[in-house]
């Protein structure tokens, strides 16, 4: 009996040892099993956004516009019938939803110590009037952010367009053509000297916002649009800065008779200054752009033939038209309401050399200046936005010019009144 009792005691002791020995393995297995059931943390985070838009607008004068009139520029040159009546005086009504937008912000894993983000955005605006209501790529960019610098590559706002400086206008296009309108492929590097002081350099190839003239003129030059920018301020209550840029165009590979190779290239500069102040609930924005051939920004002007430079082989040199554009935008926010007013002025300043126009190489080189005044009222309630804007745009066309294409006499002003109601459902 004693022997049997000893065997039973040894068996119980062995069981206890086995249980205690396997217990850590069982616990480890259980923990791993629980962890395996937990969803893995995603490497990417997507944040979709956008809005459904509805616009109804009424115009009183035939004008230069596109996409069924959604993107508006300025009144057309007056045309008179045999009785002296301006045929462009016409009431026009339109409704569209083609600015409805869909985008996705992307947060991803670090890359070489940089925080990575991306942006993909599109709308139904199309790339031309012939492609209206078709999908259009607006933005497709990647941004790498280090502690004191960041690198952006992809299709995004031209460096002259800072998101903090876009006017608060209701009409589509951000107050074009007074405010720059251009999205392009680019490589842009920004160095943050301090939390409020930034230096930016960019190399840009223009997309569907190209200079007037041959489509591949910038591509044939083999050079990008170079932009250098200095800005300071916290971007919320105050920001100011300036930009200088230079681009090259090679409009033709052959002379006009297609008999001889030509590599005539024209360069042009742009200068830009801006100021934004937001004291309390008031926003004040001021901006000026001056330069040569600013048509890539959808501004008036362009370039043409340098008078007298043409040879017997129909080859010639080019000269730029200069343009000045200034604008101001003021907005006051009051709970769910905001009121604002935009005003802009743009002037064609002539060329440095004697100028001869070339068809399709300019955007209305027959203009003297354009002017706009547009007050607005906006009501926002959660996802809904209802807004009204009255936009008065006046154009003064030239009648005579000197050799450098400076206006010496003008036609009578022509004006268009646009009444716009916009409804947005944001998400």
pLDDT tens readout for residues 207-250: 989 999 999 999 999 999 999 999 999 999 999 999 999 999 99
Spatial separation of the C-alpha atoms in residues 341 and 373, rounded to whole Å = 7
Q: What is the mean pLDDT of residues 186-214?
A: 97
Q: Is residue 8 part of a domain?
A: no
pLDDT of residue 348: 98
Q: Domain range spanning residue 421? A: 42-426
> If we measure between CA atoms, which residue out of 391, 357, 399 comes closest to residue 374?
391
Distance of CA 153 to the CA centre of its chain: 15
Q: Is residue 360 part of a domain?
A: yes
pLDDT of residue 21: 47
For 73, list phi and psi in degrees, rounded to 5.
-115, -75
Spatial separation of the C-alpha atoms in residues 201 and 206, rounded to whole Å = 16
Q: What is the mean pLDDT of residues 77-85?
A: 95
Q: What is the mean pLDDT of residues 265-279?
A: 97
| CATH number, position 50 | 2.40.160.10
Instruction: Give whichever of 2-11, 121-130, 233-242 has the largest mean pLDDT.
Output: 233-242
3-state helix, strand, coil in the chain (%, to 5): 10, 55, 35
Q: Is residue 13 part of a domain?
A: no
Structural domains of the chain, count: 1
Q: Is residue 403 part of a domain?
A: yes
Q: Is residue 16 part of a domain?
A: no
Work out the pLDDT band at 259, boundaries 50, 70, 90. Answer: confident
Q: Is residue 137 part of a domain?
A: yes
Spatial separation of the C-alpha atoms in residues 186 and 108, rounded to whole Å = 21
Contact indicator for 181, 209 with CB cutoff of 8 Å: yes
Residue 298: is its pLDDT beyond 80?
yes
Residue 313: is its pLDDT beyond 90?
no
Q: Is the peptide bond before 177 cis (omega within 30 degrees of 0)?
A: yes
Residue 20: is its pLDDT beyond 60?
no
Quote the percentage of the chain above a pLDDT of 70: 90
Q: Is residue 25 part of a domain?
A: no
**Which tokens is 268 given?**
């042009």
Q: What is the mean pLDDT of residues 92-98?
A: 96
Q: Is residue 249 part of a domain?
A: yes
Work out the mean pLDDT of the chain and round it to a whole number. 91
CA distances in angstroms from 197 to 162, 163, 276, 378, listed in the order given: 15, 17, 15, 33
Residue 25: is its pLDDT beyond 50?
no
């Amino acid at each position: 009996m004693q022997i049997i009792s000893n065997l039973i005691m040894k068996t119980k002791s062995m069981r206890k040892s086995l249980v205690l020995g396997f217990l850590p393995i069982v616990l480890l297995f259980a923990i791993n099993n629980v962890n395996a059931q937990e969803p893995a943390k995603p490497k990417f985070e997507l944040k979709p956004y956008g809005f459904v838009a509805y616009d109804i607008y009424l115009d009183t004068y035939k004008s230069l516009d596109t996409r069924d009139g959604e993107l508006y520029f300025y009144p057309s040159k007056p045309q008179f019938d045999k009785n002296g009546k301006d045929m462009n005086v016409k009431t026009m009504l339109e409704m569209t939803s083609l600015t409805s937008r869909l985008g996705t912000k992307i947060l991803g894993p670090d890359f070489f110590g940089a925080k990575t983000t991306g942006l993909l955005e599109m709308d139904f605006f199309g790339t031309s009037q012939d492609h209206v209501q078709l999908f259009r790529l607006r933005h497709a960019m990647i941004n790498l952010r280090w502690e004191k610098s960041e690198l952006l590559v992809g299709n995004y706002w031209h460096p002259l367009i800072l998101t903090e400086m876009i006017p608060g206008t209701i009409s589509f296009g951000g107050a074009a053509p007074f405010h720059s309108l251009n999205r392009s492929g680019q490589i842009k590097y920004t160095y943050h000297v301090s939390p409020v002081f930034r230096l930016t350099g960019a190399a840009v190839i223009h997309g569907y916002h190209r200079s007037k003239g041959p489509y591949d003129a910038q591509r044939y030059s083999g050079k990008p649009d170079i932009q250098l920018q200095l800005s300071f301020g916290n971007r919320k209550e105050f920001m100011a800065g300036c930009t200088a840029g230079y681009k090259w165009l090679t409009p033709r590979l052959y002379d006009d008779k297609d008999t001889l190779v030509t590599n005539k290239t024209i360069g042009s500069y742009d200068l830009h200054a801006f100021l934004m102040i937001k004291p309390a609930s008031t926003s004040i924005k001021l901006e000026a752009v001056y330069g040569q051939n600013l048509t890539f920004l959808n501004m008036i002007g362009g370039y043409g033939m340098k008078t007298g430079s043409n040879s017997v082989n129909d080859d010639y040199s080019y000269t730029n038209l200069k343009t000045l554009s200034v604008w101001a935008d003021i907005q006051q926010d009051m709970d769910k309401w905001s009121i604002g007013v935009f005003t802009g002025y743009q002037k064609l300043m002539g060329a440095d050399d004697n100028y001869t126009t070339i068809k399709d190489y300019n955007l209305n080189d027959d203009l003297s200046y354009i002017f706009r005044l547009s007050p607005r009222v906006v009501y926002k309630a959660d996802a809904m936005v209802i807004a009204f804007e009255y936009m008065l745009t006046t154009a003064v066309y030239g009648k005579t010019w000197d050799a450098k294409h400076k206006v010496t006499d003008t036609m009578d002003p022509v004006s268009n009144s646009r009444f716009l109601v916009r409804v947005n459902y944001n998400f």
